Chain A
């Protein structure tokens, strides 16, 4: 029978899910790093970088180089493998925790809880069990991570995440799973890639709430801000459990939402892990699509649709895109490789550095001449229509790309606004807000490694609705778009360099 993963915020009184989690974490933390069932080995599967390991001890005996090459630093981000790989990772971790719990005399149907921080402002506070260094009855709380390795506000029970960090409307409205990486949508799950250990274009859920919550909990520089320390924080697993749940929510909320069906995604790459007994195993995405079947055997207590807005608005644009491609409705090709017909209509010529103040950059837009030219004419017609006329969404999707963001140091997240009035206070113009750049994985993406170039981070923001609205504003110019990047906090590290801003029609 499938075990049930429950919301950490609505566990009934007397429930022992977190009691046993804490006990298992404590047991795992006593094991040496070379033990595949140890806390530090599990974190190293995500990524390991000895020079910045906060728990490194001179007495550490690391596993062999071959073991590290095969099983460590394997996490998949900025890729259509982001969701399936993390599902496998969670499954292995859950099995190890469960084995520890059973060994300690706990229940054999224990399942990881998830943290649905998007439900309300209160839900976004750090769950109580993670806030204090000592347990209620005394003794060390192994779910606690001391400041400043975690946000001080988070540990204090104060609000540390903003609505933009927990917003799931953008990702759940993304109509297709994977992007083609050619300028259009990045998809719900991420762009089509081979084995991809980070850097590059973020899928919608990889960016928000995944990346934004990582950075909010870490407050820019804590453990959760890096690939190589994130999984050392016990909240990491509860956070990722929610991301895994959102995949189920996305699939169920609209019949047109489908997983890729190509073997390139399903079976081509065999991801390596060590199971709860330390045995080497390989897993493929095809094995983890049905969570209730073996080997996963779990279900979420709530996968209901939290949004009242139907997907039809964006799906309409997809249908139009498909029609342009010669099909009556989206084909499986569209579902798998959306964005392969995107057209760039403007880009900046030079890179620029981000600062503690608002950095505004104009992008000169050009009239498209390719497959999206008719859609552009539709925009012009809309722009010249009377403001009070009913506005039909134009048959095109518009994407703002913030590309090639690099830095050797961490960076505070940035909010993106379009066409802010001169000297305006951005927070007073929420209607011009386009999205948040989380900056999770920035340092890793800026470092060239054996299996990846230093391409930096690449954010794709769907600005269709905002662009449509702006086109109705008096004084709207179809020839220019002004993009303002606003630091989320003024006390965080800054200085990352942006390679390019560009706008694409799809």
Chain B
């Protein structure tokens, strides 16, 4: 065993180390996976009654935040990576954490009224997410959506040391969060009003990836996708 196995294992450790160096934001994917895991487990538990399932406010808020992490973290991974590379090596994970904190707090603020609305019976109807998806499809064509989407790729310029470095990363994360909210708010609200159903969430993530990572900037496929999701909700409402 020994020498060959030891050398193979050393090679794997080295590769893992290189991966950690190259992708310091790797651990944020665990939050994303946790979000998907809990959402999927919840969907299985309530079967197809997710939209009618009522939860207390705190639980709604928790589900909202998990949904944000599940759907948005893959979209901003490279921006969090940029925050890490713009920081001192010893502060890279701290920088990612501060950025993520600023980002999450912004979405949490939006989640407060949404969670409150979700505790009301009238929102538990497929016509509500359908309307939100229709509005999301229209929103894609507005200049506010376009400029917010462009702002999602703002470059971080944090200080190197001290509280200023943490504050700058937090601030950058919150700016990123605000841009994402302006760009994707209707899509996210629509997904929340489906009872955090997995199918619209997966489709929403796909649309987000499409509009942010498309090599050509003027693709409006996301709008057509949102319209399709509205149709999906309409069929379910029948």
Known A344-B88, A369-B89: A452·B150 in contact at CB below 8 Å: yes
B221 is an interface residue with CB less than 8 A from chain A? no
Known A364-B160, A368-B89: A195·B217 in contact at CB below 8 Å: yes
A366 touching B215, Cβ below 8 Å: no
Known A344-B88, A345-B88, A403-B155: A453·B160 in contact at CB below 8 Å: no
B9 is an interface residue with CB less than 8 A from chain A? no
B160 touching A455, Cβ below 8 Å: no
Known A69-B218, A194-B215, A195-B215: A453·B151 in contact at CB below 8 Å: yes
A343 is an interface residue with CB less than 8 A from chain B? yes
Bound complex: CA A341 to CA B87 (Å)? 13
B89 touching A326, Cβ below 8 Å: no
For residue B218, which residues in chain A have a CB less than 8 angstroms away from its CB?
69, 451
The smallest beta-carbon distance between B81 and chain A, in angstroms, is 8
A450 touching B150, Cβ below 8 Å: yes
A349 touching B164, Cβ below 8 Å: yes
B217 touching A268, Cβ below 8 Å: no
Bound complex: CA A364 to CA B215 (Å)? 38
A182 is an interface residue with CB less than 8 A from chain B? yes
A403 touching B150, Cβ below 8 Å: no
B146 touching A346, Cβ below 8 Å: no
Task: Assign chain B's interface to a size class.
Answer: 20 to 34
For residue A182, which residues in chain B have a CB less than 8 angstroms away from its CB?
81-82, 85
A340 is an interface residue with CB less than 8 A from chain B? yes
For residue A451, which residues in chain B have a CB less than 8 angstroms away from its CB?
146, 150, 217-218
Instruction: Give per-residue flags for A49-72: 1 if the beta carbon is below 8 A from chain B beta carbons, else 0.
Output: 000000000000000000001000
Instruction: Give per-residue flags for A159-188: 1 if the beta carbon is below 8 A from chain B beta carbons, else 0.
Output: 000000000000000000000011100000
A369 touching B160, Cβ below 8 Å: no
**Number of A positions contacting B (CB below 8 A):** 45
For residue B199, which residues in chain A have a CB less than 8 angstroms away from its CB?
none
Which one of B14-22, B39-47, B61-69, B116-124 is at the interface?
Answer: B14-22
Instruction: Give per-residue flags for B133-158: 1 if the beta carbon is below 8 A from chain A beta carbons, else 0.
Output: 00000000001001100111111011
A449 touching B160, Cβ below 8 Å: no
B21 touching A499, Cβ below 8 Å: no
The smallest beta-carbon distance between A353 and chain B, in angstroms, is 15
For residue B86, which residues in chain A have a CB less than 8 angstroms away from its CB?
183, 344, 347, 502
For residue A404, which residues in chain B have a CB less than 8 angstroms away from its CB?
155, 157
Bound complex: CA A268 to CA B214 (Å)? 10
For residue A371, which residues in chain B have a CB less than 8 angstroms away from its CB?
21
For residue A344, which residues in chain B have a CB less than 8 angstroms away from its CB?
85-89, 160
Out of B22, B154, B164, name the residue touching A455 (CB < 8 Å): B154
Instruction: Give per-residue flags for B69-92: 1 if the beta carbon is below 8 A from chain A beta carbons, else 0.
Output: 000000000000110011111100
Bound complex: CA A366 to CA B89 (Å)? 10
Out of B81, B150, B164, name the residue touching A449 (CB < 8 Å): B150
The smallest beta-carbon distance between A58 and chain B, in angstroms, is 27
Minimum-distance CB pairs A-B, first 7: A370-B89, A349-B159, A451-B217, A500-B157, A347-B160, A450-B146, A182-B85
For the A-B complex with A182-B81, A195-B216, A500-B157 known, give 10 more contacts whose Cβ atoms are closer than 8 Å: A181-B82, A182-B82, A194-B213, A200-B155, A342-B85, A344-B87, A347-B86, A349-B160, A450-B143, A450-B147
Question: What are 27 A-B pairs with beta-carbon distances under 8 A?
Answer: A69-B218, A181-B82, A182-B82, A194-B217, A195-B215, A195-B216, A269-B216, A326-B15, A326-B18, A340-B22, A344-B87, A349-B160, A351-B157, A366-B161, A369-B89, A403-B157, A448-B147, A449-B147, A450-B217, A451-B146, A451-B218, A452-B153, A453-B152, A453-B153, A453-B154, A454-B154, A458-B155
- What is the interface of chain A, defined by CB distance below 8 A to chain B? 69, 181-183, 194-195, 200, 264, 268-270, 325-326, 340-351, 364, 366, 368-371, 403-404, 448-455, 458, 499-500, 502
